[in-house]
Structure formats: C-alpha cells, structure tokens
Chains A and B, each alone.
Chain A
Amino acid sequence: DGGITQSPKYLFRKEGQNVTLSCEQNLNHDAMYWYRQDPGQGLRLIYYSQIVNDFQKGDIAEGYSVSREKKESFPLTVTSAQKNPTAFYLCASSSRQRRETQYFGPGTRLLVL
C-alpha cells in the first residue's frame, strides 16, 4: 500500500538531547513537509523540501534541522536548541502534478522528560 509512515509514534526526549523523527513515503512524491501542532492549535510549518538535496525553512524552523538525501525520506531532528519541543509532529508530501495537495502521515508525539 502506498502511503506515508512516521516513526516512532511516541518519542521521549531528555533535556539537552537531540532526537530524530522519521518520515518515509512510497508515493513517489517530490515535495515533503514537516508541521508542528500544539494542543488545541492548528498546524505550523517547520521545513519543507521540493526536491532531493534542497529544503527551505518554514515559519518556525529555529531549533530544528532536516535533510533530504533520498526522495522518499525527510527526517526531522529536534535539537537541544528547541526549548519547548513537546508537540505533535506531522509529515506530509505532495506530488509534482498536484503540488497544492498534501497528504499526511500518522504523526509522532514528542514528549520531554
């Protein structure tokens, strides 16, 4: 089945620790996105990538980093510089033919210990 997978479903971070959230898609989509959602809030764009080896900052990129070495993978690292990382993280992708339409993965919930 084609789709977007995110792992892990839950992730715990200790103070000062970097953690990496995985996002993989087998839809052959060119563009991929990372969003953050805080409780009771809408989505905010962290980073996006329209093509392999290229990515752009979104509205709240500080404290996060990404890489796009493969078309199907777009991992997000939450660095220790992100002081309030507790949130729900959603990955999305869109095709070149339908760039305006994003499809989402199941999300990763990050909690700080």
Chain B
Amino acid sequence: AQKVTQAQTEISVVEKEDVTLDCVYETRDTTYYLFWYKQPPSGELVFLIRRNSFDEQNEISGRYSWNFQKSTSSFNFTITASQVVDSAVYFCALSVTDSNYQLIWGAGTKLIIKP
C-alpha cells in the first residue's frame, strides 16, 4: 500500500526565517513520482515540483529547495528567507505507475509566515 505522511500539521515562523516541511512516503513500487503542491488561501492548488524515483538530485528554484532521499523515503521542502506570500497549505503527493498514476496525498502542512 502507498502512503504519504506530513507529520507537521502547522508551522509558524517569522518572515526571513528558513523553514523545512517534511514528507515521508511509503511504496513498494520502484517507479514512482513525488510532488509538492501549494494551496494559498484562494484555494487553487499550484504545482511546485515533480521528482521521479530514479532522480535523487536535489533541486533548487529560487528560495525553494527540495531534498529527496530514498534511503529514508523522504522528500522534504525548504523555503529559504521566507516571505509572507509563502503562507499557504503545502501538500506532498505520491504517484505510482501501477495505480494508474492516481495521486496519494499527504494531509498537508499549514505554513504561517508572520511579518
């Protein structure tokens, strides 16, 4: 069975602090994809990143970075120098080829950035 765990329900930091959102996944499949989506207060889910199981390289995009570690089944997301606009709910998700690419969602982490 597949599962995604985001243990942090809510995180609150002061602007300009760095913050890391944790994501742990479970799957027996060798081919899978991992995702992060952002859901701002407006509600729309915004795609941030996709990673496939064969690519463990970390990725950086501006203030965002992602750390994929197969050894610990984790795909953590770090925001450097956080800004108020980063306040949102962030979802981690898993997709495996054997389940028709259906997304298995974590429960989400609510990130509050205080000015």
Residues of A with Cβ closer than 8 Å to B? Answer: 41-43, 45, 48, 50, 58, 88, 90, 92, 94, 99-107, 109
Contact A42 B91 (CB under 8 A): yes
Q: Mark B59-101, 1 if CB is under 8 A from A, else 0.
A: 0000000000000000000000000000000010001010011
Residue among A101, A105, A106 with most chain B CB within 10 A: A101
Contact B102 A45 (CB under 8 A): yes
Quick one: closest A residue to B4, CB to CB?
A42
Contact B47 A101 (CB under 8 A): yes
Contact A90 B101 (CB under 8 A): no
Contacts of A41 in B (CB 8 A): 107-108
Interface size for B (C-beta < 8 A) is: 21
Quick one: closest B residue to A109, CB to CB?
B43
Q: How far is the CB of A39 from chain B (nearest CB, A)?
A: 11
Contact A101 B102 (CB under 8 A): no
Cα–Cα, bound, A103→B46 (Å): 7
Contact A48 B108 (CB under 8 A): no
Contacts of A50 in B (CB 8 A): 100
CB contact between B103 and one of A88, A102, A106 (< 8 Å): that residue: A102
Contacts of A104 in B (CB 8 A): 37, 44-47
Contact B108 A42 (CB under 8 A): yes
A-B pairs with the 7 shortest C-beta distances? A104-B45, A100-B95, A42-B105, A107-B43, A100-B33, A106-B44, A100-B101
Contacts of B37 in A (CB 8 A): 104
Contacts of A43 in B (CB 8 A): 45, 91, 103, 105
Quick one: closest A residue to B95, CB to CB?
A100
5 contacts between A and B (CB under 8 A): A42-B91, A45-B103, A104-B44, A106-B43, A109-B43
